[in-house]
């Protein structure tokens, strides 16, 4: 199928690219998963892109745990946990994305992370337990395509956690892929970017939000090359000023 990433992605940057639809759980060589494209920056020339078919969008209660398809949206999963009085994913009320992307990057807010509710993942057609997935801050050692997840069921939805995470969310009104960089140990990417003069800084059709320096935004007609140049500039400025090598939280497909 063809996807226009200037319309499909949350940052509204990219071109029309061929994307393979994966119908079955199996190993696929060198594919780059698209999901809902909420934390992606996709080049117009990107290759080997893939997306799960719609039959991976489901939530099934298996008694001791839930099985969730990796195409299921964060909001659908959050709503299920809330309506069934389950705890552990309250932070998804403030996050976009699909289950596949959320688990692969161990998405979260503050001390709340996806890894806390994951029992196992179906990767390349085989189930792998949490202890073997190498979860850490906004990353994992997952290699391959995530098709399904087994999630824990613990009673007691926590409205206080939802409120806490909602207060943290300051997403800009302009198109964005959320946080551009991971927070380095003991510091905040937004603080570092602001300190080197990049809060509200524009480069062509893209810029860093005047509300939060770690949000790269599309000002209207942003291009992939401009976004890449701004990311590179930000990393250079922060490293030159503080000796800290920022790591992208956004996934860049070329």
- Residues 91/161, Cβ–Cβ less than 8 Å: yes
Q: Taking the CB of residue 132, how many other CB atoms lie within 10 A of it? A: 12
Residues 46 and 20 in one domain: yes
Q: 138 lies in which domain range?
A: 57-163
CATH code of 104's domain:
3.30.465.10
Residues 61 and 50 in one domain: no
Tell me how far apart the alpha carbons of residues 218 and 111 are, in angstroms, rounded to a whole number: 29
Residues 141 and 196 in one domain: no
Residues 69 and 159 in one domain: yes
CATH code of 187's domain:
3.90.78.10
Last residue of a domain, one of 163, 193, 223: 163
Tell me how far apart the alpha carbons of residues 3 and 19 are, in angstroms, rounded to a whole number: 7
Residues 195 and 157 in one domain: no
User: pLDDT tens, 162-205?
Assistant: 888 887 766 778 999 989 999 999 999 999 999 999 999 999 99
Question: Looking at the annotation, which residues are catalytic?
Answer: 138, 179, 249
Residues 63 and 153 in one domain: yes
Tell me how far apart the alpha carbons of residues 201 and 11 are, in angstroms, rounded to a whole number: 17
The whole-number pLDDT of residue 169 equals 67
In this prediction, residues 108-124 reach a mean pLDDT of 94
Nearest partner of 229 among 210, 201, 209, judged by Cα: 201
Of the listed ranges 2-6, 145-149, 167-171, 236-240, the one predicted with least confidence = 167-171
How many domains does the chain fold into? 3
Q: What is the DSSP letter of 73?
A: B
User: pLDDT tens, 29-69?
Assistant: 889 999 999 999 999 999 999 999 999 999 999 999 999 99
In this prediction, residues 80-96 reach a mean pLDDT of 94
């Amino acid at each position: 199928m063809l996807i226009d990433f200037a319309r499909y992605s949350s940052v509204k940057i990219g071109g029309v690219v061929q994307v393979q639809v994966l119908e079955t759980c199996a190993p696929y060589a060198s594919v780059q998963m698209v999901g809902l494209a909420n934390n992606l920056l996709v080049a117009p020339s990107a290759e080997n892109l893939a997306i799960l078919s719609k039959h991976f969008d489901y939530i099934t209660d298996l008694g001791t745990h839930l099985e969730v398809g990796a195409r299921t949206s964060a909001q659908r999963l959050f709503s299920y946990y809330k309506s069934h009085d389950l705890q552990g994913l309250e932070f998804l009320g403030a996050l976009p994305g699909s289950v596949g992307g959320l688990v692969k990057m161990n998405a979260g807010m503050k001390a709340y992370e996806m890894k806390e509710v994951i029992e196992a993942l179906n990767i390349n057609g085989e189930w792998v337990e949490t202890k073997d997935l190498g979860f850490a801050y906004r990353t994992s050692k997952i290699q391959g395509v995530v098709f399904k997840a087994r999630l824990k069921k613990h009673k007691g939805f926590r409205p206080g956690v939802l409120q806490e995470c909602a207060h943290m969310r300051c997403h800009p009104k302009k198109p964005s892929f959320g946080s551009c960089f991971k927070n380095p140990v003991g510091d905040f990417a937004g603080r570092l970017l602001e300190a080197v003069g990049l809060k509200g800084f524009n480069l062509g059709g893209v810029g860093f939000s005047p509300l939060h320096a770690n949000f790269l935004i599309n000002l209207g007609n942003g291009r992939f090359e401009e976004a890449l140049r701004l990311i590179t500039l930000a990393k250079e400025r922060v490293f030159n000023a503080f000796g800290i090598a920022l790591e992208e939280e956004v996934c860049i497909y070329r």
